[in-house]
Amino acid sequence: MKIAVNERHGPLSTAKTILIDGILIGIITDGEIECDVNATRYHIERNMSFLMLPHQIMTLLNSSPDTHLWWVYVPQSLIKKIPIPNLEIPIKPDIESQINALVELRSFRLNPESVSEMVEVLTILRRRLQSELDTENHMLHFSLLASAVLMARSGSSEMLPALPHTSRKATLSRQFLSLLVTDVVSHHQVSYYADKLCVTPKYLSASVTAATRRSPHDWIATLLVIEAKRRLTYTSDPVTDIAFDLNFASDSTFVRFFRQQTGVTPHEFRNKKL
């Protein structure tokens, strides 16, 4: 997988759940969006940059008709290769430390000039990534991306406003989702997560359903499908190996599960992507 840069105008498709398995950097130049990240709702508006780390579950809830969004996605395998230039500002030298600093602040409100500069860098990065001549020019790509990261933090720092959602059920749901993204490949049973969180499966199911409007079983199935689709799209691994790696009892069990969730078999899904 490579760095991806995209630009979107107008209202975005809502209610689609995405597993962030890399770093997502974005900026909204017009409009506003409301999203749910690990059972916490956020509101992001014009001239705000934002960043998400790997192992986050995001669902877009609403967006205004005039939404104009730029975003960059960096696969986890490339994160450590990104160089951070040696600037005369208090900044840690490695990208992971830089990202952690951003996460503590969550978002930056940029002035119009900084927004324009960040969009210009993203435009160049997208053009370079699309150019056949630059497909192997990783240092240039990473340097442009590092510039975008630094621009994202150049404005006034502020906490990304989370909408009120602090009940015991919401807290338990966030803990469940955080655990789910790291353990779902190995553990498909609600009872496993209930044991980890020291509650009964019944209480966990009721809490997660009340807070997210989706049951734990649904969340488990959703993340398994996301991971299965990723493997089917970006690798040439046989379906047999994918079924084994995702801890299904047999190939047929995996194929049946995938077809129930998506309406097509793994082979049909892969063939459509070719």
List pLDDT tens digits, range 31-84.
Answer: 998 888 877 778 888 998 887 777 778 888 888 999 998 888 877 666 666 554
15, two tokens: 């209610």
d(CA 131, CA 66): 30
**pLDDT the model gives residue 84:** 47
Reported as a single tens digit per residue, the pLDDT across 132-169 is 565 567 777 777 777 777 777 666 655 444 545 557 88
- CA angle 256/261/265 to nearest 5° reads 50
- Judge whether residue 85 has pLDDT over 50: no
Residue type, 186: S
**pLDDT the model gives residue 96:** 44
Rounding to the nearest 10 degrees, give the CA dihedral for residues 266, 272, 273, 274.
110
pLDDT range class, residue 251, cuts 50, 70, 90 = very high
- Judge whether residue 240 has pLDDT over 50: yes
Name all domains of the chain by residue range, CATH numbers in brackets.
Answer: 4-158 (2.60.120.10), 168-273 (1.10.10.60)
What percent of the chain lies above the pLDDT cut of 90? 30
- Judge whether residue 243 has pLDDT over 70: yes
Tokens 């978002």: give the residue: 107
d(CA 227, CA 266): 12
Region 111-117 average pLDDT? 88
Question: Which residues make Cβ contacts (< 8 Å) with residue 242, sequence separation at least 6?
Answer: 228, 231, 232, 254, 266
**pLDDT the model gives residue 95:** 42
Tokens 């435009």: give the residue: 123
Tokens 């001239």: give the residue: 47
pLDDT range class, residue 171, cuts 50, 70, 90 = confident
d(CA 151, CA 217): 40
Task: For residue 111, give the DSSP letter.
Answer: P
Region 100-105 average pLDDT? 40
Region 2-27 average pLDDT? 75
d(CA 97, CA 248): 36
Distances (CA, A) of 105 to 16, 26, 156, 158: 26, 14, 10, 6
**pLDDT the model gives residue 190:** 97
Region 110-133 average pLDDT? 82
Question: Which residues make Cβ contacts (< 8 Å) with residue 67, sequence separation at least 6?
Answer: 8, 9, 10, 11, 12, 28, 30, 31, 32, 33
Region 121-127 average pLDDT? 83
Report whether 221 contacts 185 (CB < 8 A).
no
pLDDT range class, residue 102, cuts 50, 70, 90 = very low
**pLDDT the model gives residue 86:** 43
- How confident is the prediction for the chain on average, in pLDDT? 79
Q: Is 0.85 surpassed by the pTM of this model?
A: no
Name residue 109's beta-bridge partners: 48, 156
**pLDDT the model gives residue 100:** 44
**pLDDT the model gives residue 87:** 37
Question: Which residues make Cβ contacts (< 8 Å) with residue 127, sequence separation at least 6?
Answer: none
pLDDT range class, residue 130, cuts 50, 70, 90 = confident
d(CA 15, CA 235): 27
pLDDT range class, residue 273, cuts 50, 70, 90 = low
Question: Which residues make Cβ contacts (< 8 Å) with residue 178, sequence separation at least 6?
Answer: 38, 55
State the CB neighbour count (10 A cutoff) for residue 14: 13
